[in-house]
C-alpha cells in the first residue's frame, strides 16, 4: 500500500511540474532555437518542399538583399539556424530517401530526412549507420552541418561517413561536392554551420547492423583513461562506448561508469532487429531528472539509481537500436530557465588533469551541472573547423541555468574560465552551442577560423547565408 501511495504522489508531482513549466505558443515571427536565448524577428519561415522552390528563394534573396538561414530540428543552441530579418528555410519537409544501394552500402537522402528515416529503410537489409548522435531525431543536413559524432569508437566524426552531397550556393547553382569534385567546398560546408549554402541531399556510406551485449562498470575518473586505452580501445570486439561522470555532490567528478557494446556474432541480427519505438520509463525518469535540476539530494539519488539499473546487468540489442532516442526524459519547458549544453574535447592523456582543473571552477561558479556524458572521438582534422585535433574524449556537459541577463553573465564568466583550462591541455570545444566562449578563445582554439571566414567571403560575397554564429565569431 505504501508503494502505491508513493507512486501516486510522484505522479501528481510530475503532472504539477509539467503544468508549471509549460510554455505558451511561439510568436511565428520571433525566432530563437533550443536555447531560448536571443530571440529576433525574422522575415518569414518557408517550409522547403522542392529544389526549384529553394532556388527561387535564393534568387529572391539575392535580388532583394535579404538573408537566408537554414533550420532542421533547431537543436543547435548558438543562433546557427536564424538571423534578424532573414528568410528561414525549414528543411524538415524536405525529407525523401532518393536512392539506396544495398550492395554498395550507400544511401542518398534529402537533407531534411532524419536518422530515423534512414534507419527505417536500411534496417530490414541488415545495415546500419556508421556515425550519428545518440538520438535519431536530428536531420541529416543538420548533423553534417555540425560534423556530429556519437558513441561509435571506430568510425570517427560524421565527415568520414559522407561520400558526397549537393550544395545550393548563393549564386543559385547546385554543385556536386565530394573529395574529388569541388573538393575545396567539402571541408567548408561539412561542419560549416549553414554558411556556405543549402545542403540539398547527401550520400552516406553505411555499415553492417550487429548484435551487441551492453554492459556497464564503475571506476574512478583517475582510472578512466587507462581503462579506456587498455580495456576498451584495445578490445576489437567493443565497437561502441560511452561513459558518465557523477555530478552528485557526494561523488562529484570523482566517480564514473562506462558502458560498452561488445559484438555478439553468435547471435543472428534477424532475431533482434525490430526497431524499438519508444524508450521505457520516460515519465518517472522525467520526474526524477526534474528533481535533479533543483536538489542536491536528488542528484545523489539519481546517480545511485543509474548505477543500480546498469552495473552488473547486460542487455542484448542491435546497433540500430543502440542509436535510437534515449533522452526524451530530459525534455524541459520553462519560461525562465533552460538546460544548455557545452561540450569540451580533451586529449585522452589529459583527461584526469582537465577534470581536476574544471572541478573547482564548477564549484566556485556554482554552475548547476546536471550531467556529463563522455564519448571518444578519433583524431580527424578534415573539416576546416575540426574539433578533433588528436584522439580525444568529448565531455558533453548539460547545465540548467536561468535565462536572465545576470544569470547568463555568470554562466559566461564560468564557461570562459573552463575554456582557459582547455587551452592549457590543447583541448577544444564544440561550436553548435551557446556562444559563451570569447572571440579570442574561439580564434585560439580554432586557428583555421580566419581561413574559413575568408572562404565564406569568396563563395558567398553577398553574405546571403547568415546566422548569429557568424556575427558572434567573425570578429568584432
DSSP code at position 465: B
Is residue 457 assigned to a domain?
no
Is residue 40 assigned to a domain?
yes
Q: In DSSP terms, which residues pair with 341 in a beta bridge?
A: 398
pTM for this prediction: 0.91
Do 295 and 427 lie in one domain? The reply is yes
Q: Which residue has the cell 578519433?
A: 378
Do 174 and 203 lie in one domain? The reply is yes
Q: What is the pLDDT of residue 280?
A: 62
> What confidence tens digit (pLDDT) does each residue in 146-168 have?
999 989 999 989 999 999 999 99
Instruction: Look up the CATH number of the domain holding residue 196.
Output: 3.30.465.10
Cβ atoms of 348 and 159 closer than 8 Å: no
Q: Which of 184, 208, 232 is the last residue of a domain?
A: 208
Q: What is the pLDDT of residue 25?
A: 41
CA angle 298, 299, 304 (to 5 degrees): 95
Q: How far apart are CA 239 and CA 264, in angstroms?
A: 11
Do 222 and 361 lie in one domain? The reply is yes
Is residue 114 assigned to a domain?
yes
User: Which residue, 423, 447, 440, 434, is CA-closest to 397?
Assistant: 434
> What confidence tens digit (pLDDT) does each residue in 412-450 have?
999 999 999 999 999 999 999 999 999 999 999 999 999
Cβ atoms of 169 and 59 closer than 8 Å: no
Instruction: Look up the CATH number of the domain holding residue 413.
Output: 3.30.70.2520
DSSP string, 116-178: HHHHHHHGGGTEEESS--SSS-SBHHHHHHTT---SBSSS-SGGGGEEEEEEE-TTS-EEEEE
Do 29 and 112 lie in one domain? The reply is no
Do 288 and 345 lie in one domain? The reply is yes
Q: How far apart are CA 371 and CA 341, in angstroms?
A: 10
What is the average pLDDT score of the chain?
A: 90
Angle between helices 282-292 and 296-310 (to 10 degrees): 140
> What confidence tens digit (pLDDT) does each residue in 324-366 have?
865 565 567 778 889 999 999 999 999 999 999 999 999 999 9
Who contacts 36 (Cβ-Cβ below 8 Å, separation ≥6)? Answer: 338, 403
Q: How far apart are CA 140 and CA 205, in angstroms?
A: 13
Is residue 381 assigned to a domain?
yes
> What confidence tens digit (pLDDT) does each residue in 266-300 have?
999 999 989 887 666 666 777 777 888 989 999 99
Q: What is the pLDDT of residue 418?
A: 98
> What confidence tens digit (pLDDT) does each residue in 79-92 have?
889 899 999 999 99
User: Which residue, 342, 364, 259, 255, is CA-closest to 300?
Assistant: 255
Question: Counting Cβ atoms within 10 Å, is residue 10 exposed (0-12), middle (13-18) or buried (19+)?
Answer: middle
Mean pLDDT of 58-84: 90
Parent domain of 259: 211-444
Cβ atoms of 79 and 469 closer than 8 Å: yes
Is residue 130 assigned to a domain?
yes
Q: Which of 208, 239, 272 is the last residue of a domain?
A: 208
Q: What is the pLDDT of residue 273?
A: 87
Instruction: Look up the CATH number of the domain holding residue 23.
Output: 3.30.43.10
Q: What is the pLDDT of residue 244?
A: 97
Q: Which of 26, 56, 90 is the last residue of a domain?
A: 90
CA angle 70, 52, 171 (to 5 degrees): 65
Q: How far apart are CA 241 and CA 316, in angstroms?
A: 15
Do 254 and 320 lie in one domain? The reply is yes
Mean pLDDT of 159-187: 97
Q: What is the pLDDT of residue 271?
A: 93
> What confidence tens digit (pLDDT) does each residue in 13-57 have?
444 444 343 333 456 677 777 778 888 899 999 999 999 999 999
Do 71 and 141 lie in one domain? The reply is no
Who contacts 183 (Cβ-Cβ below 8 Å, separation ≥6)? Answer: 177
Do 373 and 390 lie in one domain? The reply is yes
Residue 474 has pLDDT above 70, yes or no: yes
Q: How many domains does the chain have?
A: 3
Residue 207 has pLDDT above 70, yes or no: yes
Do 220 and 328 lie in one domain? The reply is yes
Q: What is the pLDDT of residue 281?
A: 63
Do 223 and 335 lie in one domain? The reply is yes
Is residue 132 assigned to a domain?
yes
Cβ atoms of 398 and 330 closer than 8 Å: yes
Residue 6 has pLDDT above 90, yes or no: no
Residue 9 has pLDDT above 60, yes or no: no
Q: What is the pLDDT of residue 10?
A: 45
Do 424 and 313 lie in one domain? The reply is yes
Is residue 462 assigned to a domain?
no
Q: In DSSP terms, which residues pair with 31 in a beta bridge?
A: 40
Do 286 and 388 lie in one domain? The reply is yes
Cβ neighbours, 10 Å, residue 357 = 17
Q: How far apart are CA 36 and CA 220, in angstroms?
A: 36
Cβ atoms of 158 and 132 closer than 8 Å: yes
Continuous segment of H or E residues that includes residue 271: none
Q: What is the pLDDT of residue 401?
A: 93
Mean pLDDT of 176-200: 97
Is residue 25 assigned to a domain?
yes
Q: In DSSP terms, which residues pair with 165 in a beta bridge?
A: 177, 202
> What confidence tens digit (pLDDT) does each residue in 452-463 have?
999 999 999 999
Amino acid at each position: 500500500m505504501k508503494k502505491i501511495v508513493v507512486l501516486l504522489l510522484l505522479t501528481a508531482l510530475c503532472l504539477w511540474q509539467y503544468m508549471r513549466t509549460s510554455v505558451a505558443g511561439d510568436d511565428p515571427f520571433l525566432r530563437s532555437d533550443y536555447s531560448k536565448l536571443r530571440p529576433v524577428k525574422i522575415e518569414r519561415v518557408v517550409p522547403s518542399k522542392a529544389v526549384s522552390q529553394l532556388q527561387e528563394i535564393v534568387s529572391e534573396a539575392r535580388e532583394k538583399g535579404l538573408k537566408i538561414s537554414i533550420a532542421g530540428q533547431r537543436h543547435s543552441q548558438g543562433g546557427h539556424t536564424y538571423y534578424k530579418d532573414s528568410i528561414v528555410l525549414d528543411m524538415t519537409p524536405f525529407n525523401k530517401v532518393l536512392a539506396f544501394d544495398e550492395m554498395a552500402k550507400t544511401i542518398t537522402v534529402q537533407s531534411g530526412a532524419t536518422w530515423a528515416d534512414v534507419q527505417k529503410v536500411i534496417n530490414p537489409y541488415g545495415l546500419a549507420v556508421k556515425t550519428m548522435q545518440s538520438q535519431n531525431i536530428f536531420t541529416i543536413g543538420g548533423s553534417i552541418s555540425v560534423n556530429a559524432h556519437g558513441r561509435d569508437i571506430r568510425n570517427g566524426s560524421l565527415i568520414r561517413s559522407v561520400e558526397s552531397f549537393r550544395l545550393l550556393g548563393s549564386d543559385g547553382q547546385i554543385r556536386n561536392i565530394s573529395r574529388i569534385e569541388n573538393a575545396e567546398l567539402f571541408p567548408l560546408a561539412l561542419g560549416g554551420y549553414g554558411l556556405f549554402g543549402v545542403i540539398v541531399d547527401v550520400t552516406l556510406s553505411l555499415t553492417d547492423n550487429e548484435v551487441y551485449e551492453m554492459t556497464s562498470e564503475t571506476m574512478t575518473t583517475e582510472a578512466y583513461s587507462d581503462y579506456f586505452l587498455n580495456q576498451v580501445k584495445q578490445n576489437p570486439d567493443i565497437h561502441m562506448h560511452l561513459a558518465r561522470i557523477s555530478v552528485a555532490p557526494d561523488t562529484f567528478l570523482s566517480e564514473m561508469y562506462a558502458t560498452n557494446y561488445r559484438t555478439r556474432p553468435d547471435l543472428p541480427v534477424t532475431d533482434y532487429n525490430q526497431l524499438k519505438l519508444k524508450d521505457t520509463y520516460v515519465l518517472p525518469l522525467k520526474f526524477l531528472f526534474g528533481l535533479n535540476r533543483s536538489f542536491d539530494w536528488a542528484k545523489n539519488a539519481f546517480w545511485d539509481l543509474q548505477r543500480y539499473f546498469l552495473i552488473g546487468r547486460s542487455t542484448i540489442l542491435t546497433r540500430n537500436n543502440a542509436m535510437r532516442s534515449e533522452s526524451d526524459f530530459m525534455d524541459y519547458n520553462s519560461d525562465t530557465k533552460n538546460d544548455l549544453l557545452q561540450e569540451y574535447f580533451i586529449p585522452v592523456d589529459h583527461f584526469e588533469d582537465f577534470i581536476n582543473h574544471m572541478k573547482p571552477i564548477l564549484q566556485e561558479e556554482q554552475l548547476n551541472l546536471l550531467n556529463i556524458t563522455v564519448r571518444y572521438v578519433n583524431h580527424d582534422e578534415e573539416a576546416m573547423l575540426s574539433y578533433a585535433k588528436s584522439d580525444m574524449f568529448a565531455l558533453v556537459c548539460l547545465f540548467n541555468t536561468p535565462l536572465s541577463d545576470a544569470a547568463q553573465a555568470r554562466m559566461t564568466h564560468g564557461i570562459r574560465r573552463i575554456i582557459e583550462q582547455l587551452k592549457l591541455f590543447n583541448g577544444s570545444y564544440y561550436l553548435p552551442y551557446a556562444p559563451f566562449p570569447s572571440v579570442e578563445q574561439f580564434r585560439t582554439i580554432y586557428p583555421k577560423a580566419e581561413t574559413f571566414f575568408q572562404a565564406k567571403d569568396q563563395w558567398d560575397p553577398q553574405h546571403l547565408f547568415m546566422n548569429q554564429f557568424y556575427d558572434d565569431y567573425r570578429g568584432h
